[in-house]
Amino acid sequence: MLIHWNNFCERSNASLSKSVTVQIHISPNDGVPIYLQIVNQVRYLVGSGRLSPGEEIPAIRVLAQQLLVNPNTVARAYLELERAGVVTKRHGSGTYVSEAGSPLARRERLKILTQRADALLAEARHLDVEPDEVIKLLRERHEILTQSQK
């Protein structure tokens, strides 16, 4: 019993000592490369304000162990996020969400919606629905949703 308790303490200390965590979930089978799933979810967390500017994100090997994915995959995702200006690496200390303020956050939010819009338009094309009809449908749905919220 003692051993299990020690084991438990060690583990929780290890995770507490660096309390930086992000809620990311990986599904290897959904057709999107794992590095891109990480990129998209960090973008989403930043865009939706669940990660704020200046906040630290986990070290590569910590996230790799949390997600059970290859560290090179996480490194690649972080590089991509850094290039896109979403995160900034500070020498010797870690990786942080960029201090770019709201214009970038808005751009990120639009970027997320752009991906959804592309998927919607692709689906519409397969179903032989014209873009104008899709726009009309969006307006209709918007009205229904705002009315149901009143």
Q: Does 12 bind other proteins (CB under 8 A)?
A: no
Q: Give the alpha-carbon dihedral of 53, 104, 42, 52, to 10 degrees.
A: 20
18 in Cβ contact with 59 (< 8 Å) = yes
DSSP strand E in 17-103: where? 56-57, 87-90, 94-97
Per-residue string for binding with other proteins, 64-93, x by CB under 8 A?
A: xx-xxxxxxx--------------------
Return the number of the residue (4 or 139) whose C-beta is nearest other proteins: 4
Q: Does 52 bind other proteins (CB under 8 A)?
A: no
Residues that bind other proteins (CB under 8 A): 3-4, 6-7, 10-11, 26, 28-29, 31-34, 60-61, 64-65, 67-73, 126
